[in-house]
Structure 1
């Protein structure tokens, strides 16, 4: 084993509402983990929280990490390290690698969060040995990392895999900051989408546990998933509707890319088959053969940690390139 593989690296998974940092060892074991909320922060405050989260995780281990990798829900110009589009966070035109490297005193490499998840699952997770796969991350939005002919692909402008911005509902909801579209898939399949659907179902089913939860404050996606696992019919209905919309996205993946495998991760994937089985049903009914029957839909091996682990692997690659091995 070379020196870099034996050293610790830091992986950071930045989402629309949280930042998660972890120190990982050579076996991808997470030795220290720290999470903080970032929803609604200004750019300076967001950067401060990212730095503080990394430093807190760093203090949790005795060994000094050799590099930092960060997955961000954004599109990058990889020649400059700048963010060129960010739908959920105030990061437009930010040279995030240089800024964080200066603040942290370590080499930093950044990439799209779904691409990081794809790297983790393809190198060490559910997609090992698979030539053509899509790794989806379902959280505040939707991302998709693409594995084609055995390689992770980013597209001509680093923007491949923006499945969340596939238009599925003409005249639907506005998508949000950085996207000019309406009725994009992530307005129907995401944590916020599940919360909206759950609020609607709760009104229609006032005697349900879901309605009781809604009466105590805004519903959160994690609570809806928990109630669905407990068997609440209203929560199951809301999750099933979101799952059917996910199936619409899977039909597009099947017909356009024809992968062997779709791996589903991110926070919303905690719903498991309560979300995935309705999606599989839509896929079987509406996709072109043979993908309709042969494309597998499975949970990510690393679950919600896939982005963190993939970012750590990028950091390991960066350290090796910089001559630390």
Structure 2
């Protein structure tokens, strides 16, 4: 059954908006080429979108042509404003952007381990409000939040998790109460996978696993283009994966004795000390990542090479278990440590996985590092806002 004229117009409008988002400003002629619509149809949709305040003239084409230059149309980026938060155990970072994801302002605030819940939440919310105000934004449309811990697949809420501060959960609720905005929360590793898939090492892959190498160990699983969360939201909690080489077994309340004990930040620090790998403390950079980066910088030295070899052994051990179950074809070494290791560490892991598993698997170094969480939160917020603002409407 063919679509009604009003529905067809709405679908065409949505198509044009998506093209303007992906390609940037376009002339009506270029929209005609990309959409396959007739010239009158394109003229009608340009008028509709302009009247609706969704697009506007942003310039003229520089093409050599008879008559006046063609007008170039672009999305009205300030139609909606977004915020993204990266919530860590030690503090919060925030960016504020327009509807197209152009960053207008960014800031961060430390929050100590011993901070009381109320003051910690107030400090984080005040950071968002202050950053938005500094960017000249009076109202946020959507806020994306990346946080450690499990997301309840039924409610979309951050679940209470052992070892994480209470202010994390309270922060999301407070943002919803204080801001006239949609607030959406997602696990930090899942957001890192989204960012690496859209803009980083996993481009071109609709099936892959991102292995997060940070203070802890986690994984994000994307199969056939769909992020998999599991029945309880716990897909990717591979810090609890029992592996050889630890001094015990993980438990329901702690991942000591699991994969975390081999490849978490503390384990990397101990491994570096055993091999004599040292590095100066870098501000705003996890020391485990700094140690790995230092070893990569002098990978020709015996001590650094042995450190990287043993670290690759450990990473490959946990990765092989994931590969045996999921066969993702690609593993991205994400987080600050994965980025610091770069191709030097990725190549070592790749070579070991080829010996451990019969399943062919690419190993790629993440390119966005710890910033992938904040970038992923912004992409999530942008998708949410654009789905509403660009939604087809009957006319």
Q: Choose from 80, 88, 98 the match for 2:155.
A: 80
191 and 249 in structure 1: CA distance in 2 versus 1, 3 angstrom threshold: same
Q: Return the offset for 1:174.
A: 7.6
Going from structure 1 to structure 2, the CA distance change for 1:186 and 1:30 (only over 3 Å counts) comes to farther
Residue equivalent to 1:250: 319
| Of 151-160 and 269-278, the range deviating more from structure 2 | 269-278
Shift of 1:273: 2.7
Alignment of 1:94-109 (within 5 A): 94=169, 96-109=171-184
What does the per-residue CA deviation read over 1:22-73, in whole Å, with 9 as the maximum and x for residues that have no partner?
Answer: 2244554444332333452443344234324433442442345421111111
Structure-1 residue corresponding to 2:83: 10
What residue ranges of structure 2 are gaps of 5+ in the alignment? 1-16, 19-53, 55-74
- 1:162 CA displacement: 1.1
Structure 2 residue aligned with 1:33: 106
Tell me the equivalent position of 1:19: 92
| Counterpart pick for 1:151 among 212, 216, 226 | 226
Once residues 88 and 266 of structure 1 are traced to their aligned partners in structure 2, the CA distance between those partners, rounded to angstroms, is 20
Corresponding position of 2:366 = 300
Alignment partners' CA distance in 2, 1:83 and 1:316: 20
Question: Does residue 198 in structure 1 map to residue 252 in structure 2?
Answer: no
Shift, 1:93, TM fit: 9.5
Q: Is 1:309 paired with 2:378?
A: no
What is the match of residue 66 of structure 1? 141
Deviation at 1:111?
1.0
Partner SS for 1:167: coil
Give the whole-Å Cα distance in 2 for the aligned partners of 1:16 and 1:275: 27
Aligned counterparts of 1:142 and 1:183: Cα–Cα separation in 2: 13
Does the CA-based 8 Å contact 1:116-1:311 persist in structure 2? yes
Q: Alignment partner of 2:83: what SS? A: strand
Whole-Å separation in 2 of the counterparts to 1:54 and 1:25: 15
**1:276 Cα deviation from its structure 2 partner:** 2.1
Aligned ranges for residues 147-226 of structure 1 at < 5 Å? 147-169=222-244, 172=247, 179-202=253-276, 210=278, 220-226=287-293
- Name which one, 1 or 2, has greater alpha-carbon Rg: 2
Q: Is the 8 A contact 1:248 1:279 kept in 2?
A: no
| C-alpha displacement of 1:87 | 4.7
For residue 14 of structure 1, report the CA deviation from its aligned partner: 2.0
1:117 and 1:310 in contact (8 A); partners too: yes
Contact 1:96 1:110 in 2 (8 A): no
**CA distance in structure 1 between the aligned counterparts of 2:188 and 2:96, rounded to whole angstroms:** 17
Which structure exhibits the higher relative contact order, with contacts defined as CA atoms closer than 8 Å and separated by 6 or more residues? Answer: 1
Question: Which residue of structure 1 aligns with residue 330 of structure 2?
Answer: 261
* d(CA) in 2 for partners of 1:116, 1:259: 18
The count of aligned residue pairs is 309
Distance in 1 (alpha carbons) for counterparts of 2:159 and 2:186: 12
TM-score, length-scaled by structure 2: 0.67
Quote the Cα distance in structure 2 between the aligned partners of 1:254 and 1:282: 13
Displacement after TM superposition at 1:164 (Å):
2.0
Task: Report if the CA contact (8 A) 1:189-1:243 is conserved.
Answer: no
For 2:167 and 2:159, locate their aligned partners in 1 and report how far apart those are by CA, in whole Å: 6
Spell out, residue by residue over 1:74-97, the C-alpha distance to the aligned partner (whole angstroms, 9 max, x if none).
002243344324354213993653
Find the aligned partners of 1:266 and 1:55 in 2 and give their Cα distance: 28
SS of 1:86's partner is coil
Question: How far 1:301 moved relative to its partner?
Answer: 4.1
The farther-off stretch of 257-266 and 25-34 is 25-34
How far apart in 2 are the matches of 1:159 and 1:307?
18
Once the 2 structures are TM-superposed, how far is the Cα of residue 119 of structure 1 from its aligned partner?
A: 2.1
Identify unmatched segments of 5+ residues in structure 1: 203-207
SS in 1 for 2:319: helix
The alpha-carbon distance between structure 1 residues 166 and 49, as it changes in their structure 2 partners (threshold 3 A), is farther
1:227 shift after superposition: 2.4
Partner of 1:119: 194
